[in-house]
Structures are given as structure tokens and as C-alpha cells.
Structure 1
């Protein structure tokens, strides 16, 4: 009785800084392990455009591009109008009867 267990301690490195191994910058590495993927946009939008008409895909792609350019997750109705106008859409005057 009376003896306590010893806890191992970590000793600081006794090597001079010039002899230590350089620290690897993991931010620059490619996490996927696939060549050519570094710096690729990793965000994925929740919906797929595959079930849309050609015009619907154009609109969805234009909205996605707007959101990426302006760093927006959601856009307002006014921003939607900007996207629609950029695609060439315009409001036609109502024909009087």
C-alpha cells in the first residue's frame, strides 16, 4: 500500500529546431487522394436538375452560378428577377381586351 501508479510524462523535444522534421501543411494536400481535385468547388446543391426541362435546367444553372458568385445560400425574389433578366426574360405588357 502506499505506492501510487506513475503517469508517463511527455518530454519536450531536446533537438534544436533546425534538426526537427518540418511540419506538413495539410491544408495544401488533397483529401480525396485523387489527382487534380485540389481547389475544386466542394459545395453540392441539394436538388438535381436532371428532371427539369431544358429551360428549367438553364434557370437552375443560372441561379446556382449567381449563388456561387455572390456567396449566397438562398436568394431573394429581387435577386431571382436579376437572374431571370440576365437570361433575357422580360415582363410583357398585359393586352387590353
Structure 2
């Protein structure tokens, strides 16, 4: 059996979504790792959320790893007892 018989041609063309949607007038929705609003958080959780947002902006990251989150928490002074 040849490779050509194993690989079937695509029935639909490739859609490159990095270029945006066909309708450029529609507002885009940014995917976020956490909620868009920090209004319902406790003061401590709000401080952490704002610090994480600042970290993500500074490092141009949309999503962060647990290691990065831990480093943000340590920068705020959190310690394991």
C-alpha cells in the first residue's frame, strides 16, 4: 500500500484563523486565563489578580504557568508556613 492511498486529500480548504475572521467589523473576543473582572474578589485575591495581570502585561504573556504564578505570589510576600 502506498502513502498516496493512505493520505486522503482534504475535503475543505485550510482556514488560517490567525488572519482574523472574514467579517472584520465584528469585535474580537480576547481569550483570557482568568475572569475579566476582579470586582467580586476579596481584597487579597484582588491584589493577587492585579499582580498576575501586571506580570502578564510586563512579560507579554496571555497565559502563565504555575511556576510563574508562584513567583508572582512570592513577590507579593506569600510564604509557606
What TM-score do you get using the length of structure 1 for normalisation?
0.48
Q: Paired residues, what number?
A: 50
Secondary structure, aligned partner of 1:51: coil
1:61 aligns with 2:50: yes
Q: Which has the higher contact order (CA 8 A, sep 6+)?
A: 2
Aligned to 1:89: 78
- Comparing both structures, which one devotes a greater share of its residues to helix? 2
Question: Gapped runs of 5+ residues in structure 1?
Answer: 1-42, 93-97
Question: Gapped runs of 5+ residues in structure 2?
Answer: 1-29
What TM-score do you get using the length of structure 2 for normalisation?
0.57
Tell me how large the CA RMSD over aligned residues is: 1.9
Runs of 4+ aligned residues of structure 1 deviating over 3 Å after TM superposition are none
